[in-house]
Amino acid sequence: MNTFQIQDVTLGGDDLFFILGPCAIESEEFTWQMARDIKVIADRLGIPFFFKASYDKANRTAADSYRGPGAKAGSALLGAIGKELGVPVTTDIHTPEDAEIAAEHVDFLQIPAFLCRQTDLLEAAAKTGRGVNIKKGQFLAPWDCKNIVEKMRHFGCEKFTLTERGTTFGYNNLVTDMRSLYWMRQEGVPVIFDATHSVQRPGGDGKTTGGDGELAPVLARAAVATGVDGIFMETHADPPNAFSDGPNQVPLDQLEKVLTSLVAIQNALKP
């Protein structure tokens, strides 16, 4: 397993790490408050985590859906949060230009699932020197990740992870095959399970994406039991009124209970 460090978080080590935060940067005040609240929970549980929020929701269902403040303002905000709170931060990038902008402030660059085979984007992310998290496309088999791994190594990047976020299952639905976590880890890189995007119903509510958020903790528990290095989980103080992906996000007031159960499962598996 290729193990590496980003600030105080070890990826691919013995302990589970987490990527936690709201789907989108809704405002500066909201994002700061979410980051502070999540850090309090993480510190209480003693768990390592990245704070996550997206500065641009570029794959929204409708043209008039909220997107975010943009790469420059959003990345700068995340960088300020990370510096003040002492936590590494992560966000999505969508273009090679985004990679350069975000890398100035963000510790861990995320490649969206729809863009996981975009060679120019992978190369740009790799060349920033930052860690890179690549989400497996809903259209890919787990063994297809071998080509992604080979691309990243070809570009000289060894600090990268793969994320499982569900596979297209008919129309407006996703399904997660827990076997994929095992197969993806055979490539020798840390693997993350995205619990909240895996329960999406893409476009399922007409002009918005639906989802089964109550199932996110269920799938997360299964993923930890199966064997995974990290858990990605979006959370929101008020999911019904979230600007993006509300139906999938774990309510903030339930987050500590969910994380406690995941850590307990991982501890039970240790030799």
State the pLDDT confidence band at 210, using cuts at 50, 70 and 90: confident
For the cut 80, the answer to whether the pLDDT of residue 209 exceeds it is no
pLDDT in tens, 220-243: 999 999 999 999 999 999 999 999
Query: Measured between alpha carbons, how far is 140 from 104 in angstroms, rounded to an integer?
Result: 31
Query: Measured between alpha carbons, how far is 132 from 123 in angstroms, rounded to an integer?
Result: 11
What's the predicted TM-score (pTM) here? Answer: 0.96
pLDDT at residue 211, rounded to an integer: 83
Average pLDDT over residues 208-216: 85
Helix ranges (DSSP H) in the chain: 28-45, 71-85, 96-103, 119-127, 145-154, 179-185, 216-226, 252-269
Average pLDDT over residues 135-162: 97
Neighbouring CB atoms inside 10 A of 208's CB total 18
pLDDT at residue 55, rounded to an integer: 97
Average pLDDT over residues 168-191: 95
Give me the CATH code for the 4-269 domain, please: 3.20.20.70
For the cut 70, the answer to whether the pLDDT of residue 207 exceeds it is no
Q: Which residue is associated with the tokens 């969206």? A: 112
pLDDT at residue 57, rounded to an integer: 85
Strand, coil or helix: what is 128? coil
pLDDT at residue 1, rounded to an integer: 87
Query: Measured between alpha carbons, how far is 211 from 202 in angstroms, rounded to an integer?
Result: 8
Cα torsion 71, 164, 6, 26: sign: positive
Distances in Å between the Cα of 176 and the Cα atoms of 10, 13, 167, 180, 191 are: 25, 24, 6, 8, 14
pLDDT at residue 63, rounded to an integer: 82
Average pLDDT over residues 144-171: 97
Token couple for 231: 């858990």
Q: Which of 18-27, 46-55, 117-126, 207-216 has the lowest mean pLDDT?
A: 207-216
> For residues 29 and 22, is the Cβ–Cβ distance under 8 A?
no
